[in-house]
Structure 1
């Protein structure tokens, strides 16, 4: 059901409530509220966003940095219907998820909303309220195992930056709240407004929801010397033979032993690691160079542009050409 609320003559608004609590993360809250506010100021919307912060008792909440955030309405008193209910994450998520008052009222407001969402570890509060049962969700990669262990009825996928499952949307950590909110703006008001907001935020429009949270270009190197040596070889030889047999020869180990080491160290097989490395390298080349698609495919070890297209689409949910159009910062390759 598409919930639109009348607050003034001739104005129909989308009421979006963001749930905060002691220990919530300010970026999780501000990424959502600022993005929606920018959407409102970007043009004359027929259905502008009305944004409320909800806190227990309407009290100011203390953030992990020591700052205090005020201005919230009482979570216990607000009534719907709502367009969207979004629960923020933060270091206080476990205490919030264990608080029966917070959990009960999150469950209540969710029942009166068109769409329910969470940022980062806010998923733990939704899970405690029983709102994630049977759904595929994501959260900050560091807390994914804990969420899965505490709620085995929830299908936790730690890889994507956000997941849409029906009327439920969950996102990964911190700045992925921007990606989530821009995606919601596009869903509500179209791609043109979403692009405008993304430009104002100075972010790429827009990372595919199933882009991985963790990247081989940003994670710490493997702790195991053999795995590190093989990973370095992969990164330096993307266009070469990177079969498990070839990598085993580099490591001086059997394929079975090397696979065990990779699974223990990186939670993926050598073949999976190679595929991830090649796809991430392709994404960087697509965004940062004007190389032709066959040239990108060749540099990254794909047999053809079509092979690259199929692998890229399966991984990121968009074709390489679309990714280039929305991410390009091109320079001569």
Structure 2
């Protein structure tokens, strides 16, 4: 069937309206996971592509590569293009600066490659990474980027996944770091190190934590990867759980909180489980997590509630009770305070995007 000029205009107008609707709905969604890639010159392409491709498949309902539920940007330290070790040139998509990194991203990925570029990194980059780490924003070091974190001094007394070919030099340079060579990645107190490979298992676990099992599995299936969860070991912990801290009291308390999201348990009971007093629990929480135990626990419950709103059809009141809130109004108040919108608005916007997607 041939289309005359008028019909062509109608089709074009309809397509334009659909694009506008999708764009408006897309811009209204707060992504579940925001990642900044800082690419060093001669970076290794494989782990970067494994991580970003996993994010791409988790970022929308279909396969349009829309950055809805996951968002990412490309940066370089000096804001000019860099060349990967394979010769591919990458143009940064946003400026590198500390405030941008601290305000707009949940993870900072530093991509290294050839040791000639990571042995002596720029001092400005080291200073920025130190400030990011102090702000407790998780950092992911790919390939030889672990040398940069080591140089910045933020890997001391941390476990770090190292490629076996560069282990000897790494240990010699950074004797205070605990080098591990038999893991695809290691997480230790907010620092992720991945020695190379595809980084798909790391990506899947991060996506599972922030976006749920369905989106994590979508990427694994499309990339033809076995979707089994990795074994739970000390070097490769279950990151579905909250961040672990060096203080054993805080770790015990967080573990107990995570297992009792729906229970009306008092902080006194949490303190008893952590083998301390409520006053001491408050003190060590502020010192290690930069917030009170009550605030941390509420944040855990709200994050769990947000996943339920996005991935289930349960009533808001049901979700409120399941996440440990006394009633729906109490839940709605704290949800809006945390995320800037009500649970109803959040779910409506999500469903609108999924309808258009």
TM-score category of the 2 structures, normalised to the smaller one = 0.5 to 0.7
1:132 aligned to 2:155?
yes
Q: Name the structure 2 match of 1:25.
A: 44
Measured in 1, the distance between the counterparts of 2:160 and 2:229 equals 17
Going from structure 1 to structure 2, the CA distance change for 1:210 and 1:67 (only over 3 Å counts) comes to: farther
Gaps of 5+ in 2: 1-25, 234-357
Equivalent position SS for 2:42: coil
Contact preservation (8 Å) 2:112, 2:118: no
Contact preservation (8 Å) 2:186, 2:194: yes
Contact preservation (8 Å) 1:14, 1:47: no
Measured in 2, the distance between the counterparts of 1:53 and 1:96 equals 22
Going from structure 1 to structure 2, the CA distance change for 1:204 and 1:169 (only over 3 Å counts) comes to: same
Measured in 2, the distance between the counterparts of 1:167 and 1:47 equals 25
1:146 aligned to 2:169?
yes
Going from structure 1 to structure 2, the CA distance change for 1:94 and 1:60 (only over 3 Å counts) comes to: closer
1:200 aligned to 2:200?
no
Contact preservation (8 Å) 1:35, 1:182: yes
Measured in 1, the distance between the counterparts of 2:183 and 2:123 equals 29
Deviations 1:224-260 (A, max 9, x none): xxxxxxxxxxxxxxxxxxxxxxxxxxxxxxxxxxxxx
Q: Which has the higher contact order (CA 8 A, sep 6+)?
A: 2
Contact preservation (8 Å) 2:46, 2:196: no
Gaps of 5+ in 1: 1-6, 212-333
* Number of residues of Structure 1 aligned to a counterpart in Structure 2: 204
Could you state the TM-score of these two structures normalised by the residue count of structure 2? 0.51
Find 1:89's aligned residue among 85, 103, 112: 112
1:66 aligned to 2:87?
yes
Could you state the TM-score of these two structures normalised by the residue count of structure 1? 0.55
Find 2:128's aligned residue among 96, 101, 105: 105
Q: Name the structure 1 match of 2:320.
A: none
Contact preservation (8 Å) 2:102, 2:137: no
The two structures, once aligned, show a CA RMSD in angstroms of: 2.9
Going from structure 1 to structure 2, the CA distance change for 1:153 and 1:201 (only over 3 Å counts) comes to: same
Measured in 2, the distance between the counterparts of 1:110 and 1:179 equals 23
